[in-house]
Each structure stands twice: as structure tokens, then as C-alpha cells.
Amino acid sequence: MKRLHSFILKSFLGPLAFTFFICMFVLLMQFLWRYIDEFVGKGLDWTIIAEFLFYVSATLVPMALPLAILLASIMTFGNMGENYELTALKAAGISLQRIMKPLIILIIFISLGAFYFSNVIMPIASLKTSTLLYDIKKQNPELILKEGIFTNDLPKFSVKVGKIDKNTGMLHDLLIYDHREGLGNTDVTVADSGTMVTSADKLTMNLTLYSGNIYQEVKQKPRDRDKNHPSRRIKFDEFKQNISLPGNDLKRTDENRFKNSYRMLNLGQLVNQEDSLNSIIEEEKNNFSKSLLVRHYFQKEPKNLLNDSIKSVLITEKIKDADSLFNKLNPSKKLTTISYALDKGRKARENIARKDNELSGQIKWLRKFTNEWHRKFTLPFACFIFFFIGAPLGAIIRKGGLGMPVIVSILFFIIYYIISMTAERFSKELVLEPVWGMWMSSLIVLPLGIILTYKATTDSTVFNIENYIDFFKKINPLKFFKKKNE
């Protein structure tokens, strides 16, 4: 049995490592395609890019690992079924459960490792990724000049070049707007030709212009646009100027700015944050209900509204019922009272609606922390479920390689992912409770794993695709038409 277990483990670990890296590569390329515009023209060092890809890869593990387990298990047992190894083992009296036993133990350890990764490593990777992506987005792009197009990559300058000589680097028909004063297009430079050379430390742009004019309008205040201002023109044969650049060194942001986000917290921190947010929401509810009672329900009227006639009624007849008091009023006073009450009711309704929207936003934000708490457990559970779908399914379809297993795995994973994303969105929108929103996909897929395991154990032919292929092969429409013609 030890040799058998060793053989099964070797047969599984190879495809698992291979499919895991394939899934990571595909997901990473998808991420880069989404954020490729943030990297182009930033002059980032390769170490920065490598660091960012490393952190992003860590955040993609929750999607790649379950898919890799599903694909590897289908490939492993599909190969064994295609090579009649499962048939030989079952003929020797070894059940499918005993064949799967070493892999079940391995999947348990992988699930425990996935839980540790999701709770400890994932928050750190998410924090590093968010911080570094924020810094990259803030990074000023390198100056890239294009013919006939204004370029705003140079800080506080707008540059347009008519033609660029690629051999000499000479720029022709230059038009430069200087916005350093912040007064609009009041400083314009037109030159026949020129050069722009960045210093070695990339902190200064050495600008040299030939045969041109500088047009300057003297404005004292930005709001004085409609007034006439003095202007001057400066003609030059050669003009040199040094422009300060912000530099291409990436400025790192303090990670404490993002550390309280729900994706950057572990289980204990999520619970503490949920308790704090719940306390804030409950306190706001209590304060609002008290203010609502004071302002719109129990209210002390001004003395000028409580006239002598009502005072006398209250004193002599000792009326405590509001309806009886209302009936004692004359028609004009009744109309005034009703109008005043309606006005107060409308204001109360508006305040309640506004506060309800505020509290709904806070509850939705709280729901993200609750969903993230459940997500720590759904990842290891998904690894466990996908194994019990892939292993029996591979034994049933009896096809190895990257053909049928890939198609089946992607199909199951897409179904699982769609259900998961839909239910999680319902949870975020307060349609479902977090426990149902985050566990819906697992609860739907779990019975399928149980059924497939049972069918594979009992050698059921219900899910044997070869039987259906043979059935459709027997249905030959040509034979049917030949018999009919005869």
C-alpha cells in the first residue's frame, strides 16, 4: 500500500504544481491587462515591477488554488482510468475510497495551509499590493513627445511638436505653454526648432530653443480675465532654460493609510472592527431616535401659540385627551393645527429617509467586513469540495491530459464563480445574510461532489460519457432514410 500511496501522490502533485502555475499565469496576465495603462511610460525600475507582480500573485492564490486542485484531480484520476489502472486496482479489491485516502489527507493539509494563507499572508499581500498600486498611479510619467499632439507629461507645461527628427533628436515647430504661474495661457513660447535633454540624475530638463518668440501677458490676479493687461514679446535666436522634474524615484506611501480596509485584516481584527462599527451604528440609531422624539413627537409649543381660551379649557375641564382638546378648537384653529402637524410630519419623514440612507451605507460597509470574515473559511472549504468533484469525475470520464479535463474544470469553476459572485453581491446589497451570501456557492456545489463520489464508488454508468457517445453513434439518420426509401 505504501508504494500505491506514493504512486498516487506523485501522480497528483505533478499536475497540481503544473496547473497551479498555469492558473496563476493566466490570472496574472488578466490583471496586467486591466492595469497596463498605469505602468506604461512611468519609467519604473524592474525591481518595482517584480515586487508588484509578487504581491499580486499572492492575492490571486484564492482563485488559482481551487481551480488547480479541480483540474489536477480530474487529470490524475482521468489518466488512471484511461490507462485502466483504476480498473486493475478495483479488481484487486481496492476501493476508490482507499485509492483516494492519501490524496484526502494531502487535501486536508492543503486546506489548512490555505486557511493560514487566507488569514495571515493574504491581508499583508493585499496591503502591499494596494499601497504599491496607489504609488504607481501617482508616479509622474516620462516625457513622451508625439508629432502634432499636445503633451502634458512635463509638470506645469504643455508642449506641442510639429516634427521630430529621429536621427538627430531635433524638434521642429515647437509650441510651449508655461503654466507655472497658474494664471492660464499667459506665457507662450513659439520656436522654429529646439532640443530637450534630461540630466543624468533625471531631475532637470535642459531646454534649448532656436529662432523664436516668447509672448507674455502680465496678469495680477486669475479672476481678471476680462480686463486688458500689458503684454510683451521677446524675440530670441537661442534660448536656454532648465526645468525642474519631479524625478522618477517611486515615492512610497505610508501603509497605515490602507491598513484598516477589510481586505487587510485577519480574523481577530475583522471581529474587532465589526464590533466597533456595530457600536457606532447602534449609538447613531439611539441618538437619532431620541432626537426624533424630542423634535417631532414630544414638543413644547411657544407661549404665544397657547392662548387664554385653551388655557381656560385645560384648567377648568382638565382635558387630557388630545382628540377632545382638538374638538374644542374653532375651525380656523383646527386648520392651523392640522397644517402645523403635517409640516412637522413631512420634516420627520425627510429626516428619517435621510438617516436611513446614511445607516444603509454604514451597514453595507460593515457587511464587507462580515463577508471578508466568512471568506477566510470559504477558500479552504472550496479546495476540499473541488477535490471531491474532480477525483470522482476523473474516474467517471476516464480521460486524461489537457483536453476534456480542462473543459470540464473550467465549466465547473465558472458555475461556482458565477454563483459565488452573485450571492456575494446580494449580501453586499443587504438582500441576503452574509452567511448565505458567502456560502451559497459551496452549499450548491457540495451535493454535486457527494453524488459524484457515490456514483464513482458504485461504478454507475449514468455519468459515463462513453455510453452516451455510443448511443448517438447508433442513431444513424442515413440508415433511417435508406429503409424508408426501400
What phi and psi values does residue 64 have, to the nearest 5 degrees?
-80, -40
DSSP conformation class of 293: I
The per-residue pLDDT for 186 is 79
Residue 77 binned pLDDT confidence (cut-offs 50, 70, 90)? confident
How many CB atoms within 10 Å of residue 100? Answer: 23
Q: Which residues pair with 216 in a beta bridge?
A: 187, 232
For every residue of 344-395, DSSP letters joined together read HHHHHHHHHHHHHHHHHHHHHHHHHHHHHHHHHHHHHHHHHHHHHHHHHHHH
Q: Hey, CA dihedral for 261, 267, 272, 274, is it positive or negative?
A: positive
pLDDT at 75 over 80: yes
Nearest to residue 392, comparing CAs of 377, 378, 412, 417? Answer: 412
| Average pLDDT rounded to a whole number, residues 155-184 | 81
DSSP conformation class of 38: G
Contact 150, 173 (CB under 8 A): no
In this structure, what C-alpha cell is assigned to residue 234?
A: 521677446
Range from 48-57, 150-159, 437-446 carrying the lowest mean pLDDT = 150-159
For residues 374-402, b (16+ Cβ closer than 10 Å) or e, as one string?
Answer: bbbbbbbbbbbbbbbbbbbbbbbbbbbee
pLDDT at 328 over 80: no
Please, what is the end-to-end C-alpha distance for the chain in angstroms? 62
CA pair distance 345, 274, nearest whole angstrom: 34
Percent of the chain with pLDDT over 70: 77
More confidently predicted of 316 and 123 = 123
CA pair distance 149, 468, nearest whole angstrom: 63
Render pLDDT for 343-394 as a digit per residue (tens, 0 to 9): 877 888 888 888 888 888 888 888 888 888 888 888 888 888 888 888 887 7
The per-residue pLDDT for 314 is 47
More confidently predicted of 381 and 307 = 381
Q: Which residues pair with 161 in a beta bridge?
A: 147, 174
pLDDT at 236 over 80: yes
For every residue of 229-279, DSSP letters joined together read --EEEEEEEEEEEEEE---SSPPPPPGGGTTTSGGG--HHHHHHHHHHHHH
In this structure, what C-alpha cell is assigned to residue 40?
A: 506604461
The per-residue pLDDT for 339 is 82
How many CB atoms within 10 Å of residue 244? Answer: 11
SS3 (DSSP) at 159: strand
pTM of this structure: 0.67
**What does R_g of the chain's alpha carbons equal in angstroms?**
37
| Average pLDDT rounded to a whole number, residues 212-230 | 68
In this structure, what C-alpha cell is assigned to residue 109?
A: 493539509
CA pair distance 456, 405, nearest whole angstrom: 16
